[in-house]
Structures are given as structure tokens and as C-alpha cells.
Structure 1
């Protein structure tokens, strides 16, 4: 075999950091050793994987073509190494989740996944849909759990479970005791909303088609708990996932609002993976645990 796994690690680290010094630091190597490994890989096959722009390394067309293949090969090698050393096929995972899923669903799955004799580790990154999709696309996350619609040719998007957004208000809000809201009620209300780019905002805007230019949005917040606190303080009404609101409804600190019948706020949660990502036993186990929720 003309190449080594170490050379592939240097290649992938350089692709990630776009700088050989930072790539070397991430692999606990000297800069000269990392640079030599990359040069040897290229010279052995008489290829160039990067365009050199000063100290910056930019993947060229050939590098972009081979990056997913190198990622998949190293993932399989890592899984085999873990199986040899721990006698287990279930290894560490890097998971990304959007805010609703990350704060209210993913932690329970993590507990189950890690509750095995080998105690595999899980790192969880919580961000909005666009950020999670970008990091899965760049192989920085093994799998993503998102709540927004997504079109990305590099990614496989798989339905997970259904969800529904619920409008809500404080118990003493003027709309709290109304049996069903009208479009005029929605226009006249003051709204506390998730930020643009979030899956929740995307689903809300889809359900409010025709009314969006007329809505009075007072605040756009990145955190669901902040939105709930603002609505509890009677600054306006909100619209979030049922998953987020169930406990507050039980306590009576917030109350659900019945939206007009012709407006649907049902949506889907999804798994996303890179199409060229190696499907390890750990990823398969994670997906299965999620489906059991």
C-alpha cells in the first residue's frame, strides 16, 4: 500500500483547518512532519490535492473528490480499532442537533447510547438547522438531527418523527380564553419568535403564509426558554414545538392557543448524514434509539 493512515489524517486535517500548522497541532505532530506527510502523499501518486495561497491550503477539485473517500476509510479503520481494543462495535459519536431536539430529546438518547459496558462517548453540538447541515456536510459531525426542511445534494435526509408547533400565551393574556383564533387575531397579536434560519421559524412561516407581512414581531430570540419567559411576562404570544411546551402547559404557566383550522403547523424531524459517510454500527444504534423515543 503506497499511502498510510497517518498521511490520510494529515490530508483531512489540512482540509479542515486550511493551514498545515493548525493541522499538525490537531494531530500532535510537528509542522515539518505534517508537511512532509502531505507532500509524500501527493508525490507518491503525482497529484495535487490543494491550491497553495500563501500559508492557506484550499482544497482543489481533486481534493474535494477524494476527501469523502478518505473520511469513510478512516472511519472504518477507527471503528475496527475500537472493536479490537474494547471488544465492541459501538464507538464514540459526534452528534449535532437543532435547539428543540438538542435540549429536549437528544440528551435522553445520549444517556441510553452511553449506558453500555464500554461507555462510548457522545459529543453533542446544539445549533440551528443551517449550522448543523454545514457541519455534517464538512464531516465535522457524524449525524445531525434537525427540525427544518433542507435541500442539499451532498446530504441524505431521512424522516424521523412527526412534530407540531403550538401557539401559546400567558394565562392572563387577552387571547387566553378564546376558543379559536382568527387570522385577524394573529395579525393584531404581538409575537415573540425564534430567529431566522431556525427550523421552528421556517415551519411557523410556512403555516402563516399570506399573513407574514402583517405580523407584528416584537422579539426574535435564539433560545426557546427565553421565548417562554418573555411570553410568561406577557410581552406577546409565541409558537414553539409541543415538545418544548408540554411541562409549562402542565404547570399552567403557559396556555395553548387554538390556531385557525385552515392553518397547519405539523412538521417532521429528520436525520441528516453525508451521502458518502460510512454508516458505522454506532450511527445505526443511535438512529434506532431515536426511533424508539
Structure 2
């Protein structure tokens, strides 16, 4: 079994077709088929089901795929480090949209102060996509607000955060100190897109309490969501960090969950087989030591109650 075997296997698994793998590696389709057969014989397992001329990866195949991605990634890193002169270490950091909008820049700047020789490349998307990129070794580490579901990823709580219900200063809720949970079913919401950790946490909460909400606006841009709240009189559930300026300016009124059920963590995530370099350890230290003041200190807010 060689790195070449694993590269071909990964391409077949990703594309679902041996012909595409053959084209990518400039080899014949029978050669691809023979490579997969050699892997199956080497490990004594079936990697793909072949049904109606289509390939379906097996559970054993998925297990090998997870390890294969890491092995190939580490081999490529080894080649890069050993063959390049004046090599500059690079860390690919992912962040979910909330994290990317409120703390990622500070974290990168703090890290660069003590690690100026390390190049940092950042990628921002929702939790679902960040998880996929970690599993494919397209990212080294990530900071996310959503729930990580893959058992192949290590998730370490790092930075405290919580959601608030946001409305404009002109919304009827802005005149109330207490809002009943059942009142949410009668108003329009601006929501994050599917795959967002913020959305998942809130939807699980309202589902657990038997409340249906009316979603009239969806998007992945926090700025656009804030505009929808202030200009269109929608409600939105959002990280308190993202509305700090608008709260202090009096443009947005926030309603807190009275039982802290929207408290959460931003977590550091990386693959369980990932080699943790000294630079990555330093970055993790910066994240763990990240401090922020309470945005709502001294601010009058409403309370969401279940009554």
C-alpha cells in the first residue's frame, strides 16, 4: 500500500466515479479499479459496493477515507517542509460566521505578535461546512459556535458566548421588560441559514418548548440580519458580541433568556489524527486566553420567560 493508492482511493470516494479518478491521475480506468482492488485485498475489507454501475462507499471505506486524508495531508506537509528552502509554516484556520465577525481578527493579530514567522490563512463559513473542511484536511484548526457531530474531530470549549433576542428600539417588545415565550409565534424572524450553529441552538430550543416561529428572512451575513432587525422590525436571535455597537448606541434592544439556555462556547476543533505543531499549540493558547468584557454590563434588557 502506497501514498499513490490512497490518493486514487480518495479521489474515487470524493467523485464516486473511477473514470474521474483515472482522468485526474492520467491513468486508465482498469488501473484505478486494480488499485482499489489491491487496497481491499491489503486490508481484507470491501471499500465500495458496486450497484447498477454506481459506487457506494462502505462503512469500512469511510473509516479508511478518514485516515487516508490525514496520511496524505501529513505526507504532503512532510514533502513541503523537507524540499522547500526558507520554508514558512502556514496554519489554515477556519471560523464560523459569528466567530469570524467578532473575534477572529483579534485572535490572529494576537497570535502574529508572538509568531510573526507563521503565515495564517483564514476561511469563514457555517459550522457544517467548516466541519467538512476539517474532515477533508483542508483546514488545520477551527473555532466554531455550533455543535460538532463527527467523532473524528476533537472539540475543546474555549470562549464563552451567549445568544440574545434582538429587536429594534421601535419594536413593541422594546417597551417590555418581560416577554412570554408564546409571544414569539406571532412575530416575524430574520434567521441564519441552515447549517448555522446559532440557528440550530435556537431551533432546538423553540422545538423543545413546542413553539413555532415565522421565518420571513434568511441569510448568512450578520450585518444584513442586523439591518433586517432595525429597518424591517424583525426579531433575530444572534450572538451578543455581534450587536455590541448597536446595543450601546440604543439602536437595538435585547431580550435575554431568563434561564441561560442560550449560553454556549466557541470551541476549538481539529482532527483527532492531526499533528499539533508548536505554532498550533501557540494559537490554541491564544484562543484559550482570549478575554472579553460583558457587553451588557450596565445595559437595561428584557427577559424571555416561559410563562
- TM-score over 0.5 for the pair: yes
List per-residue Cα deviations over 1:190-242 (Å, max 9, x = no partner). Answer: 43333454211232245556655254444344432222111111422222001
Q: 2:38 aligns with which of 40, 43, 46?
A: 43
Instruction: Give the match for residue 240 of structure 2.
Output: 242
Cα distance change, pair 53–237 in 1 and its aligned pair in 2 (3 A): same
TM-score when normalising by structure 2: 0.73
CA distance in 1, matches of 2:49, 2:203: 42
Query: 2:5 touches 2:39 (CA, 8 Å); kept in 1?
Result: no
Query: 2:18 touches 2:33 (CA, 8 Å); kept in 1?
Result: no
List per-residue Cα deviations over 1:85-121 (Å, max 9, x = no partner). Answer: 256683342x443221233333444566678665535
Q: 1:278 aligns with which of 274, 277, 283?
A: 274
Q: 2:62 aligns with which of 52, 61, 64?
A: 64
2:190 is the alignment partner of 1:173: no
Once the two structures are overlaid, the 10-residue window that deviates more, 192-201 or 34-43, is 34-43
SS in 1 for 2:174: coil
CA distance in 2, matches of 1:78, 1:176: 55
What is the aligned-residue RMSD (CA, Å)?
A: 3.6
CA distance in 2, matches of 1:21, 1:114: 44
Instruction: Give the match for residue 303 of structure 2.
Output: none
CA distance in 2, matches of 1:123, 1:268: 20
Deviation at 1:177, TM superposition (A): 4.1
Cα distance change, pair 10–209 in 1 and its aligned pair in 2 (3 A): closer
SS in 2 for 1:162: strand
Task: Report the number of matched residues.
Answer: 284
Instruction: Give the match for residue 296 of structure 2.
Output: none
SS in 1 for 2:172: coil
List per-residue Cα deviations over 1:164-209 (Å, max 9, x = no partner). Answer: 1122222222332434444465455443333454211232245556
Deviation at 1:55, TM superposition (A): 6.7
Instruction: Give the match for residue 155 of structure 2.
Output: 157
2:9 is the alignment partner of 1:11: yes
Instruction: Give the match for residue 91 of structure 1.
Output: 90
Cα distance change, pair 60–102 in 1 and its aligned pair in 2 (3 A): same
Cα distance change, pair 22–225 in 1 and its aligned pair in 2 (3 A): farther
TM-score when normalising by structure 1: 0.75
SS in 2 for 1:69: helix
Once the two structures are overlaid, the 10-residue window that deviates more, 154-163 or 135-144, is 135-144
* Structure 2: unaligned runs, 5 residues or longer: 291-307
Q: 1:82 aligns with which of 56, 80, 83?
A: 80
Query: 2:185 touches 2:211 (CA, 8 Å); kept in 1?
Result: no
2:261 is the alignment partner of 1:264: yes
